[in-house]
């Protein structure tokens, strides 16, 4: 059995998050393929979300399930398996309303542009938009828009 020395710095979500501004400034060369990637066009919360997913995957790998059995090391997920996009820190000015029977709503998502949304219930007066989640499944696209009423904001 091979013993590996402990890392001097254990990479975590916050240490990776601190490296993101440097990644967005210049081209990045991948070690395994030699390709040059440009991250300047990627929205910052998407990169932070990717770092958070990596941290959660390794925590689950080390911790295991409730019985203590591990499920295997985290593997690379291709772009086609990345089904959920989470936009944290959403703002109310992202919403654009349309007057066609009051059923359609447009979200102006960064780097994606206008996305048509069908609202199933009316939006409350005085709400605050906190997060937008876009989930792609088989043949349809779903969205989740958590709102906070103004009475809870104080």
Strand partners, 143: 134
The pLDDT tens digits of the residues spanning 62-112 come to 777 777 777 777 777 777 777 777 777 777 777 776 655 656 777 787 777
19: its two tokens: 């490296």
Residue (of 141, 96, 147) closest to 121 by Cα position: 147
β pairing state of 131-137 and 140-144: antiparallel
The pLDDT tens digits of the residues spanning 11-28 come to 788 888 888 888 888 888
Largest Cα span, the chain: 68
Global confidence as pTM: 0.64
């Amino acid at each position: 059995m091979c013993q590996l020395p402990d890392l001097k710095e254990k990479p975590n979500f916050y240490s990776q998050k601190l490296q993101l501004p440097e990644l967005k400034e210049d081209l990045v060369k991948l070690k395994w393929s030699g390709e040059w990637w440009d991250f300047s066009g990627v929205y910052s919360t998407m990169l932070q979300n990717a770092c958070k997913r990596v941290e959660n995957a390794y925590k689950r790998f080390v911790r295991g399930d409730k019985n203590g059995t591990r499920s295997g090391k985290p593997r690379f997920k291709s772009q086609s398996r990345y089904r959920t996009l989470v936009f944290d820190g959403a703002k109310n000015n992202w919403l654009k309303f349309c007057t066609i029977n009051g059923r359609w709503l447009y979200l102006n998502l960064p780097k994606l542009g206008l996305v048509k949304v069908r609202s199933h219930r009316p939006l409350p007066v005085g709400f605050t938009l906190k997060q937008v989640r876009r989930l792609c499944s088989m043949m349809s696209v779903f969205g989740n828009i958590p709102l906070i009423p103004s009475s809870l904001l104080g």
